[in-house]
Amino acid sequence: MMEGYWPNAADQPNASKHDIEHSRWYKEVSKIVLSRTLQKQADRLILIRYDIAEKINSIKQQSGKNILIFGSPTVVHELIKENLIDEYWLFVNPVILGGGIPLFTNLEQEIKLKRLSTKELSSGVTALNYVVDK
């Protein structure tokens, strides 16, 4: 879904400043996709089908920046289970939905966090940044 939009978002006549900046960033970063069904390859894409913990740990040992997770609670559940998440950015939106997929579920042990920052965005969203307290 992201690959279908972001590479060319800056080329649209009504592209916002955010779209232009995000499109530029998106084209330059490597993408890691965890999927057992995806067949299509894209530029700068690392596709992981199996052995998630082993492959993510290998990537984490390489030089470079942080790995960000966008979207999938299912992927987050797997990464939490394998103790592969070092830092959390949680965004509290001023909307009560009453349903959806829980972010934290079936945890076998508690995960202690240390707050790094809290920021209120102009949209009313509160951004919470935590590091895993090991």
What integer pLDDT is reported at residue 63 of this predicted model? Answer: 85
pTM above 0.85, yes or no: no
Mind giving me the DSSP string for 32-52?
Answer: EEE-SS-----TTEEEE-S-H
For residues 87 and 102, give the distance between their C-alpha atoms in angstroms, rounded to a whole number.
18
| Residue 124 CB contacts under 8 Å (≥ 6 apart), including other chains | 93, 94
Q: What pLDDT digit, counting tens, does each position of 3-60 carry?
A: 888 889 999 999 999 999 999 998 888 888 888 888 877 778 888 988 989 999 999 8
pLDDT at position 65 over 80: no
Q: What is the chain's mean pLDDT, rounded?
A: 89
